[in-house]
Chain A
Amino acid sequence: AQSVTQLDSQVPVFEEAPVELRCNYSSSVSVYLFWYVQYPNQGLQLLLKYLSGSTLVKGINGFEAEFNKSQTSFHLRKPSVHISDTAEYFCAVSPLMNSGYSTLTFGKGTMLLVSP
């Protein structure tokens, strides 16, 4: 079984400041890793994903994340945030399977609050 821990339930930050949203996972097998963003009353949009290869993954909207296998972490970063980045961010994992992706296990989410 897999589990995902997002250490911060809420992260307040000023506009144009850098931000890091933390994610740690636990799994007995290798996993794929994802970050999703959810705006109020909307579904989830994929920001980025790590499948294999380079541990630094770049996604949409200027976000990037780094996979650290030894620390079982997949922290999300952005060097300069905008007001429009205010949203809920979910980290998720999926175990590697020959049949492709399996079901996703989500963290509890981190609310990013960007203020002027």
Chain B
Amino acid sequence: GAVVSQHPSRVICKSGTSVKIECRSLDFQATTMFWYRQFPKQSLMLMATSNEGSKATYEQGVEKDKFLINHASLTLSTLTVTSAHPEDSSFYICSARAGLRTGGTEAFFGQGTRLTVV
């Protein structure tokens, strides 16, 4: 399957600072990227969907000013957690999907980022 690389895998930051998480599709062009949040022992919660070159669509209850998503190229999307607080500590996972015309009917997942805000 295709490879999606997410970086960093772990990050610890101080409360009030911002953290950027990168999601790259290494061997395909990702028309659409998805950002999920996963709480301990729970399922994945979709935060937002981004299409290359467009503004991200956020799910209800997700603060767009707090979780900034940029999908500036077909291989890179970034999630920036602004002014992070301890309650933002979580496991964040991205997934990427190619365009339908290039056979993109499956989403591939990154390895996740463990964010700890102290």
Whether A associates with B in a native complex is yes
What residues make up the interface of A, taking CB atoms closer than 8 Å to B?
36, 41-46, 49, 51, 90, 99-101, 103-104, 106-109
Q: Is the CB of A100 within 8 A of B104?
A: yes
User: Measured between C-beta atoms, what is the minimum distance from A45 to chain B in Å?
Assistant: 7
User: Measured between C-beta atoms, what is the minimum distance from A41 to chain B in Å?
Assistant: 6
Considering the chains assembled together, what is the distance between the CA atoms of A81 and B41 in angstroms? Answer: 22
Interface size bracket, B side: 20 to 34
Q: Is the CB of B34 within 8 A of A103?
A: yes
Any A CB within 8 A of the CB of B61: no
Q: How many A-B residue pairs have CB under 8 A?
A: 50
Q: Is the CB of A44 within 8 A of B43?
A: no
Contacts of A106 in B (CB 8 A): 43-44
Q: Is the CB of A100 within 8 A of B100?
A: yes
Closest to A91 in B: B43
User: Measured between C-beta atoms, what is the minimum distance from B93 to chain A in Å?
Assistant: 5
Contacts of A107 in B (CB 8 A): 43
Which of the residues A36, A42, A108 comes within 8 Å of B111, measured between beta carbons? Answer: A42
